[in-house]
Structure 1
């Protein structure tokens, strides 16, 4: 039976272990979306992961939903990411950049007054943090059919830019209520064109993004993250048990590097999806709100639910998490006050084990 410490492969890429740094928004890019030297330090500190999946990275200016998040649509952003990937590779790590278009999540003030875009003009209740502070969310503008197709092209260009920046691959963020899941979910997708209505139509955008990105950079360099039944960011799904198997049937033949499941619908449904997916599965386990620990990861692998396990808050606070797990060492506690934005405090100053 495999353990967290066994070697693994995704696509043709060898991994030192089955421990994945989960993508986590940390808001340490500059205001132009350029990754900083501090980000390079942060990711290099965590290069002991079998695979690093970075924070969500917008493929276009309109795809930005939060302050000081990185992008992949300008030369300066590509150069910034090159510093990050070089730093990770120098430490022997592997790194995929997550491409995240936030869709209706965000605010017009983040991009010159132009409203957020979405499958349909359906408001996500709540507030968004901007450079001026917390503001109420706005009703997004509905993408035209032609604009949906252009958005697919933006994902493709961002993926090419990720490879140009030295990344080993990209993860397409189809989870947590962002644009891809907004198309999947009937609550946020009320379209009447080929991208809305039936399950077959609602999965179309996700399938097109995965297909075109795989064509552009190679399927072995592409992962997809999903979160069935997740209600984060006001998502309301119907037909979940039909929707996600239909999506996997369409994308399985592409031969993607992996499927990353955020376990929102329970272990039984995870097993259902796992049985349908012949390739590698990364799992972010559902631990009833508790941070994922070594025991959760080992159980998920033992259950046959996945091949690799993603760790978030534990990895945030423990840059040497694989070494701590292996040694059975105590773990640093994460400080929620420093999760988003700020400087090195609560970011690159968590101590590693004494050597």
Structure 2
């Protein structure tokens, strides 16, 4: 049985010291232009102590892909000095440094786009589960814009390599652009990027090809490429678990080093009536069947949570707990479980030092 102390060597050749990861989380700590701040570097370095790898919060690969003010940018070569400092800060703590690369699509805050209209696979607004609009109507991307965005993911990968990161995670989850192309709710295209599952997967395939090409061309060392996905959508139409099984079957045939499922709770049961005997994580782990390592996440706060999660995944990602309890891994290692911060996050954030932008964000969230 896998334990959190076990090391792991990815297909690419990168070795992590244990099975704990810090997953990507929004911090709002970058400058308005996406430049990394000293506060943000310190934030990541503090939480990197003990985990095998840190995955940074989302970094936009193009200016039109910026999701929100205060977001990290990897869209320009001018971003390289700050990115280099960030990678170095994480690696100095003996953790591998992965940067998550993404495009916000229709979920982008217009305030982050200087008033420009967000774009997506189709001119369809995001919906809540009851069918009510969640965002404004985006502009459908042209073929040229699609190709530019795909190239943007490759260019971002090159910058990650040059900045000294150990890998990138492609953000195909949480309703952002890559997921928008795969979802039948947001993708109503009739060209090569739309239609059935295979057609809607085309954008993902070409993004992967762009990233892998950049790794092959620029990486002078082992370099990880991971992929994060959301297993279900709560709209009709929307991504179902069957759609995700198809997606996973395609992804495991690529050179990806790992798959990372985005969940609010690692033991959450699917919404589909045909799949309620096990957790989503269990179904996915069985589907992948060892073809790629799977990263599970969602509500990991205790030693028992880590043990339970690793029964159905190769890695446990610890997010909110590390946010409020930066030395949680050390407490785990030293069997100081009684010292772990428990209770509601809303109470814990009042006792944890945060920068003003992150604190205000957490207050709104919790």
Does TM, scored on the shorter chain, surpass 0.5? Answer: yes
CA contact (8 A) 1:38 1:344 kept: no
CA contact (8 A) 2:184 2:237 kept: yes
Q: In 1, distance between residues paired with 2:173 and 2:109?
A: 20
Equivalent in the alignment of 1:86: 88
CA contact (8 A) 2:232 2:239 kept: no
Residue 225 (1) aligns with residue 232 (2) = no
Unaligned runs of 5+ in 1: 127-135, 348-355
Equivalent in the alignment of 1:132: none
CA distance 1:239–1:125, change in 2 (3 Å): closer
Equivalent in the alignment of 1:40: 41
Number of corresponding residues? 329
Deviation at residue 84 of structure 1 after TM alignment:
0.9
**132, 139, 142: which is aligned to 1:141?**
139
Residue 330 (1) aligns with residue 343 (2) = no
SS in 1 for 2:75: coil
**317, 323, 342: which is aligned to 2:324?**
317
Deviation at residue 245 of structure 1 after TM alignment:
2.4
Residue 281 (1) aligns with residue 294 (2) = yes
CA distance 1:178–1:239, change in 2 (3 Å): closer
**289, 306, 315: which is aligned to 1:297?**
306
CA distance 1:60–1:316, change in 2 (3 Å): same
Q: In 2, distance between residues paired with 1:317 and 1:2?
A: 26
Equivalent in the alignment of 1:133: none
Equivalent in the alignment of 1:192: 190
Q: In 2, distance between residues paired with 1:210 and 1:256?
A: 9
CA distance 1:345–1:140, change in 2 (3 Å): closer
Residue 65 (1) aligns with residue 67 (2) = yes
Deviation at residue 106 of structure 1 after TM alignment:
2.1
Deviation at residue 211 of structure 1 after TM alignment:
2.4
Equivalent in the alignment of 2:273: none
CA distance 1:239–1:21, change in 2 (3 Å): closer
SS in 1 for 2:317: strand
CA contact (8 A) 1:294 1:325 kept: yes
Equivalent in the alignment of 1:342: 356
CA contact (8 A) 1:63 1:101 kept: yes
Q: In 1, distance between residues paired with 2:143 and 2:354?
A: 35
Deviation at residue 146 of structure 1 after TM alignment:
2.5
CA contact (8 A) 1:261 1:282 kept: yes
Q: Please show how residues 1-355 of structure 1 align to structure 2 within 5 Å.
A: 1-10=1-10, 11-47=12-48, 48-124=50-126, 137-218=135-216, 220-231=223-234, 238=238, 240-263=240-263, 266=270, 267-277=278-288, 278-285=291-298, 290=299, 292-302=301-311, 305-326=312-333, 327=335, 328-332=337-341, 334=345, 335=348, 342=356
CA distance 1:346–1:7, change in 2 (3 Å): farther
Q: In 1, distance between residues paired with 2:82 and 2:178?
A: 26
Q: In 2, distance between residues paired with 1:208 and 1:340?
A: 39
Deviation at residue 212 of structure 1 after TM alignment:
2.0
CA distance 1:125–1:336, change in 2 (3 Å): farther
Unaligned runs of 5+ in 2: 129-133, 217-221, 271-277, 362-366
Equivalent in the alignment of 2:274: none
Q: In 1, distance between residues paired with 2:18 and 2:44?
A: 17
CA contact (8 A) 1:25 1:340 kept: no
SS in 2 for 1:104: helix
Deviation at residue 91 of structure 1 after TM alignment:
1.8
SS in 2 for 1:253: coil
Deviation at residue 55 of structure 1 after TM alignment:
0.3
